[in-house]
Amino acid sequence: MSYNFNQGLLAALAPLLDPTVFMILYLVFTLVTMAAAYLLGSVNTSIIVSRLLYGDDIRKHGSGNAGLTNTLRTYGGKAALLTLFGDIFKAVLAILISGVLLGFNYVGGIATADGPYIAGLFAVLGHIFPVYYKFKGGKGVLVTATVALVLSPIPFAILFVCFALILCISHYVSLASVTSAVLYPVVLYGYMRVCFPTAQMPGMMALTSILIAIIVVFCHRENLKRIGNRTERTFSFKRRPKTDDGTTDTEAKDTDNRK
């Protein structure tokens, strides 16, 4: 048996297995991928950081979201940096487990195997609906960005530029996030057409990118309403000053938005 990291364990075992056993093993590896990705995604770094460092729950502050932006606004740069690294690590690990089992099949700088995209989708679902925290987590943007970076670095770079431009122009993280998520399957399709004009976009790549886009938009539905009403908080790297009751003005206004 010759193992190739890009092809995965299943491909290495394929010559030794009859078709029925191969399909059973494929299903087992796929289920392991789903379970591992979801459970890893459910490890919400923002909640862990808020509890360990501050004896607090990030979901009680600001927007109530257990994600990077709310962590930065509430606790500052140190907590946000820990959240950034933690959420990136869990997404990378989920994809790596899938790649080891089912392969990546990187061609032209983009992964084409089904497994890593399934892992990415379930890592996002775990982050948003974490089993460890009563299914109340973040909005999946950072995990989605990590999935795009690992599996399709050039499309990610395009999406990152779009995100940065929209954020700089509008100062709305939510608008930049939603726009980038919607563009995710579009950019993937465009990249595939440019690099592989005679090939079809892999079905799992298309399906998972569309589902992730829909999920991210759904999770930001209240933000989009507030943008329409012009009550959505704008983003700044400067920490907001404390008010008389000990909260930031961001926390106070976000609390009003949740009422």
SS (H, E, C) 224-236: HHHHHHCCCCCCC
* Average confidence (pLDDT) over 149-163: 97
Q: Residue 4: inside a domain, yes or no?
A: no
Q: What is the pLDDT of residue 65?
A: 86
Neighbour count for residue 191 (Cβ, 10 Å):
18
Neighbour-count burial of 32, counting CB atoms closer than 10 A to its CB (0-12 exposed, 13-18 middle, 19+ buried): middle
Q: Residue 2: inside a domain, yes or no?
A: no
Cα 259 from chain centre: 27
Contact partners, residue 7, CB within 8 Å, separation at least 6: 103, 105
pLDDT at 15 over 80: yes
Q: What is the pLDDT of residue 69?
A: 86
pLDDT at 11 over 90: yes
Neighbour-count burial of 224, counting CB atoms closer than 10 A to its CB (0-12 exposed, 13-18 middle, 19+ buried): middle
Q: Residue 127: inside a domain, yes or no?
A: yes
Enclosing domain of residue 104 = 9-258
Q: Residue 221: inside a domain, yes or no?
A: yes
Q: Residue 1: inside a domain, yes or no?
A: no
* Average confidence (pLDDT) over 183-192: 96
Q: Where residue 244 falls among pLDDT bands split at 50, 70, 90?
A: very low
The share of the chain scoring above pLDDT 70, in percent, equals 90
Q: Please say whether the beta carbons of 67 and 130 come within 8 A.
A: no
pLDDT at 155 over 60: yes
Q: What is the distance between the alpha carbons of residues 113 and 223, in angstroms, rounded to a whole number?
A: 34
pLDDT at 251 over 50: no
pLDDT at 7 over 60: yes
Domain count, the chain: 1
Contact partners, residue 147, CB within 8 Å, separation at least 6: 91, 95, 117, 120, 123, 124, 212
Q: Please say whether the beta carbons of 192 and 255 come within 8 A.
A: no
Tens digits of per-residue pLDDT, 19-78?
A: 999 999 999 999 999 999 999 999 999 999 999 999 999 989 987 888 888 998 899 989
Q: Please say whether the beta carbons of 2 and 12 come within 8 A.
A: yes
Q: What is the pTM for the complete model shown?
A: 0.88
Tokens 């465009």, located at residue: 190
Q: Residue 26: inside a domain, yes or no?
A: yes
